[in-house]
Structures are given as structure tokens and as C-alpha cells.
Chain A
Amino acid sequence: MADNHIHQLVIVGGGPGGLAAGIYAARARIDAVLLEKGATGGQILNTDWIDNYPGFPEGVSGFELAERMGAQAQRFGLKVAMKSAVSMDLVAAVKTIHCDDGTTIQAHAVILATGARPNHLNVPGETELTGKGVSYCATCDGPFYRNLDIAVVGGGDTALQEAVYLTKFAKTVTVVHRRQEFRAAPIIQEAALAHERIRFLYDAQVSAILGSKEVEALRIRYRDGREEERPFQGVFMLIGITPNTGSLPLDQLHNEQGFVVTDGRMRTNLPGVMAVGDLRHDSIRQVVSAAGEGAVAAKEVEHYLECISHGKGA
């Protein structure tokens, strides 16, 4: 599919940030195309329940919220291309994006909304046993652990919220946390700490995942040097996220440890290039903030396109 047309805007990524940008851009009649390798929704597709997105007093499933955002973008006629970016040149006035199907797409402005993915612990056994007891998505894989003993690694919002979720299936859930205190929001901590089938190992790190065909045990190392093996049939790694920057020209974009630096209007150091959501250096990693940033970025693109059409630069 040779596409010689230069779009006004390419949005890279179809999570809440990219979709919100797409909704605003489509309503502004900007000629925009959004790139997403599968269905839109991003990480919220992996989230069981979202309790803090305004407008849903009872909360909403990540799945449903993703669907609603996608339908809304579709209603305004946002073009979505099912492909992902592999590399980009963002310095020139016309930005070029190379896609995984061998095509290229060009545009005057780009909104980077590639999001993030779950961190790996990088311990022995992890790669070999992924999908065989090692999981990064409680919502996806929880039902495979009915009446089993499982572990959750992490101490943030996601770890404790999903620990509570996993008690729906598992016999026991043991939270392995490398510190004494949790980073999770107080309301989430309260629910986890009060749960009778959630146990806690503090000052503890998983040093290896053991098992031949599937997970059988974890080796746990404590801060005081003690080490022990504990039997578990599954382990969920919920230890934060890494930005998806594989396709980004990090030598051209200002970034902090891979997170793209923007100003308050979502502008990166490169003219015509915005970034939103979990990819940004000071993102608070919330659906509502990603969506808000998408709207700001789309407005900024509108302004930028006006400026370049009048030959003023931005």
C-alpha cells in the first residue's frame, strides 16, 4: 500500500492518550491517522477495574472503557491503521514513520502515544517460564490459578489492586515486596492488608523462578541475607512499567531514562512532535491524565499546523 499522501497528523499508539488526541483531532477536522498494532485501548485492556475515571461512579472495566473510547473515536471518523511503527525520522519538517509491514507514513505533525509495558524482573527462570506460571497480566491469567497458591511481586497500586483481584481465583496470594512500606494509594493498601487470604513478605526479593515445565517455586532473598525456596504455582510480576521507545529516535528526542521530556503543552524538543501518556517523563500513569494530555496535544497540533501553513514556524 503505497501512501504518498502527507497527512496533517500521525498519532502513534491507540491507548487512552492516543484515542483522546484522535477524538479531538477528528473533531477539529484534522487529517489524522492513528497507528495501533491491534485493537485500540492500550494497557487498560489489561486492567480489571478502573475506579477513578470521572463519570463512572461505580467504576468501569478497563475493557469497557477501551471499547467506549474506540467507539467514540470511530464516531468522529478517526482513521485507524492496524500497524506499528518500527522507526521514525522526526527532525525534518515532514515526519516519516516506517511501519512493521514495510510501509511508510508521512505527516506534518506527530503525537507519540506509544505507552508502556510491564517491567520484567530479569531473574533466572523468568523468560523460560513466561506463560507457564509467570504472568504480567492478572486480568488475563488469573482464572488459570483457581485454588492454587500464587505470588505477586511489587508494592505499587497495580500490585496490591491485582493481589486483591487474584483472590477471586487463587487459594492464597502472597505479595513479595522489597521494602517495608507500600507505594500504593492508601485505599488500595487498606483493602489488601485487610484481606484474609493475602499474605505479605517484606524486605524480600525474588531471586529465581524454579520449575522445569511450569512454575513450582520461588527463591526468595531477604534483606538480612536469608534465602529460602517457597512453593508457588504462579507468579505475577507487577513491578512498574517501561516506556515503549523501541521505535523512537531517542538520539533526537530529549528524554530521561527513555521517558520523553515535554513541556506543559506536550511539546517535545522537536517542532511538530508531541508526546502524551505513560511515555512522558513526568506522567502520573493514569487513564484520566493520559486522556487529558491527548486533548492538549491535539490542540497544540492544531496551533502548529496553523503556524506552518502561514509560514511562521511554531
Chain B
Amino acid sequence: MSEDKILHLNDDNFEAEALQGNLPCLVDFWAPWCGPCKAIGPVIAELATQFDGKVKIAKVNVDESPATPGKYGIRAIPTLILFKDGKVLDQVTGAVGKAQLVAMIEKAG
């Protein structure tokens, strides 16, 4: 349903999609073998619907795209990073609840 609203990014298009442009972008760094990543999957899908057109909601599979998580020093997943104007605005690790992510996004304005 809302899965199609999620941007699936990789090492090649990460910069263009997440760091450039006017919208903030929340990136979920995940992998298929990670349980907590699966746990927040439905939350990410809901956020994509809720913030459609206001905030980009994206996922990066760290297995397929190791360079991007390496650049941000990611050693644990799921890690969620909120980017605005190409900079890291906020960051959280672990399967946090939807309310916390909504608060993080809304704080960013």
C-alpha cells in the first residue's frame, strides 16, 4: 500500500536524492537479516504516507550499499538519520516507536 511511497536509495543515487533538494529526508539504514529493522518496517511505511510531499522517507539496504553507511559511521542497524540541506540533523539507533520518529521529524520543521 504505502510501500511505494518509500524511496529506495543506494550508493549511486543517495547524494542526489537524500542530500540535495528542498525537502528533509529521513533515511532508514536497514538489512533483511535484522529483526528490529523488520520491526520498524511498518512504521517507516506509515511515515511515508503521513509525510508524503513534505518529507522524503527513504531506505538504504546496507548490504547492497555499504559505502553510504560507512560514510556515516554506521555500526548498528536500524539507524535512522534525518537529513536537511545535506546535513545530519538528528539520528537514532534501534527500533524506536512511531511517535518518537514523528517528533524528530516535526522538530526539524
Do A and B pair up? The answer is yes
The answer to whether B75 touches A137, judged by C-beta atoms less than 8 angstroms apart, is no
In the bound complex, CA of A11 to CA of B21 (Å): 43
In the bound complex, CA of A39 to CA of B30 (Å): 15
The answer to whether B41 touches A46, judged by C-beta atoms less than 8 angstroms apart, is no
Interface check B89, CB cutoff 8 A: no
Chain A hits for B35, CB < 8 A: 41, 44-47, 62-63, 66, 137, 139-140
**A83-122 to B contact mask, C-beta < 8 Å, 1/0:** 1100000000000000011000000000000000000000
Chain A hits for B31, CB < 8 A: 143
Q: Which of B43, B46, B75, B97 contacts A133 (CB 8 A)?
A: B75
The answer to whether A82 touches B46, judged by C-beta atoms less than 8 angstroms apart, is yes
Interface check A249, CB cutoff 8 A: no
**B85-109 to A contact mask, C-beta < 8 Å, 1/0:** 0000000011101111000000000
Number of A-B contacts (CB under 8 A): 89
* Chain B interface residues toward A at CB < 8 A: 31, 33-43, 46, 63, 73-79, 93-95, 97-100
**A-B contacts besides A37-B98, A45-B39, A137-B76, 19 pairs, CB < 8 Å:** A37-B43, A38-B36, A38-B95, A38-B97, A39-B42, A41-B35, A44-B35, A46-B36, A82-B43, A82-B46, A82-B98, A101-B99, A132-B76, A139-B33, A140-B36, A140-B37, A140-B76, A144-B75, A214-B73
Closest 9 CB pairs of A and B: A45-B35, A131-B93, A38-B39, A100-B99, A131-B76, A37-B97, A39-B39, A140-B34, A141-B76
